[in-house]
Structure 1
Amino acid sequence: MEENKELHEENLNTTEQETQQTEENIAENVTKEPTTEELLAEEKDRYIRLYAEFENFKKRTIREKMEFAQYANTEMMISMLAVLDDFERAIKEIAKNGNEADLKGIELIYQKFKNKLAEKGLKPLEVNAGDDFNVDFHEAITQIPAPTEELKGKIVDVVETGYQLHDRVIRFAKVVTGN
């Protein structure tokens, strides 16, 4: 019993000492105010960070505006691809069994239309039979047995031309691959 009393008194003394130390630490922190230099350094740091954040915002906004302007007409370009394809089919048919004057007239209109689209950033994807199949530029619509051994896993035929607007693919080239 006496041992318990001594332990209890010892614990009380330790607790009182800890409480006194904590109160002293709090008093020190309350009375210790930041100096003018510390406040100035803190405000200067906040200013520099805010300025850097604003500069990044301006750069990002300019980049987004340029990108928007560059790709704003993507939907219109995609719709014009159908007209371009129709011109190509018409030229092939007229070349088979048509009038030479009609063919020249249609080719002139086709070239003018194609040049105007190219001025706006439209580029056809260069795809030839025998090229490696690349999922970033090609869409395989079917596979056929390869006519030769070196055409296995490669492009055998191009069904529809693919196009890029600046550096983005807006229509994948539709191809037939060999297996």
Structure 2
Amino acid sequence: MAEEKTNKEKEQVEETEAKENTAQENDKAAEEDKNSKKAKGKKENKKSKKDNTDEKIEALGNELIELKDKHIRLQAEFDNYRKRTMKEKMELIKTGGETVLVNILPVIDDFERALIAFGEMKDDDPLKQGITLIYSKFQEFLKQNNIQEIEAKEKEFDTDLHEAVTKIPAPKEELKGKVVDVIQKGYVMNEKVIRFSKVVIGE
């Protein structure tokens, strides 16, 4: 009887130990699982942080490329602006007094008419000498300002230089389609026409 009791107690102790061992194993497994999850979470967190850093680096790289492109475009635009303003300035210097000079041309025309009218007068006539002197000074003034007379008489008619007033029968065969007479002289300033030659064309 006493032996049966002892066996029962032994079984109970063994059962209790077995339960305790199972509980410990469960706890250990739970702990390991928890640690594994924690490690996995840390790994994922690190991966997520790395991904965020890569994204930021890529975004900054794109922004840098965009800024460089904007800088290059701005520099090119500024260079174009500088060249354009320099060209405009040069043009302004070249043709700055164009309006004044164009307004002087009719005065020169009048002097030429006067010289034609005084053609029969003697060369030592004071009036003729005075007109000739003033006309010479005007001619010199035109040269100094790069103004040249357009050669027109007996030249091929050129719409870029001449303005046809009328057509008449050509006095010679070789003058057909050419300038027969010049009614008003034309002038160029720095290779730019400031007044077209008014001409008569032979046909």
How far 1:118 moved relative to its partner? 1.9
Question: Which residue among 175, 179, 190 is the counterpart of 1:155?
Answer: 179
Matching residue's letter, 2:117: E
Unpaired stretches in structure 2, ≥5 consecutive residues? 1-54
What is the aligned partner in structure 2 of residue 38 from structure 1?
62
Query: Which whole-Å CA distance do the structure 1 matches of 2:69 and 2:110 have between them?
Result: 63
Partner residue, 1:168: 192
Output the TM-score relative to the length of structure 2: 0.67
SS of aligned partner of 1:107: helix
1:74-153 equivalence runs, <5 A:
74-97=98-121, 100-101=124-125, 102-129=127-154, 131-153=155-177
Counterpart of 1:3 in structure 2 is none
Q: CA deviation at 1:161?
A: 1.0
State the one-letter code of the partner of 1:111: S
Q: Secondary structure at the match of 2:153?
A: coil
Aligned positions of 1:3-18 closer than 5 A: none
Answer with 1 or 2: which has the greater Rg: 2
**Deviations 1:120-158 (Å, cap 9, x if unpaired)?**
1211111222x1100110111111111122211111111
Q: Could you say which structure has the greater relative contact order, defined with CA pairs below 8 angstroms and 6 or more residues apart?
A: 1
Deviates more, 1:147-156 or 1:92-101: 92-101
Q: Write 1 or 2 for the structure with the bigger share of helix.
A: 2
- List runs of 5+ in structure 1 lacking aligned partners: 1-31
- CA distance in 2 between partners of 1:140 and 1:98 (Å): 36
1:84-121 residue CA offsets vs partner (Å, 9 max, x unmatched): 00111111111223563332232121111121122112
Q: Which residue of 2 aligns with 1:5?
A: none
User: Could you give the per-residue CA deviations for residues 21-75 of structure 1, whole angstroms, max 9, x where no partner exists?
Assistant: xxxxxxxxxxx66432222121111101101101110110111122122212221
Residues 143-179 of structure 1 show CA distances to partners (whole Å, capped at 9, x for unaligned) of 1111122211111111211001212111111111111
Residues 121, 128 of structure 2: 8 Å contact kept: no
Identity %: 44
CA distance in 2, matches of 1:148, 1:42: 73
Letter in 2 for 1:56: N
1:126 is paired with a residue of what secondary structure? coil
Q: Distance in 2 between matches of 1:137 and 1:91?
A: 26
Question: Residue 66 of structure 1: which of 67, 71, 90 is its match?
Answer: 90
Instruction: Find the aligned partners of 1:106 and 1:124 in 2 and give their Cα distance.
Output: 20
The 2-side partners of 1:149 and 1:168 are apart by 32
The number of residue pairs the alignment matches comes to 148
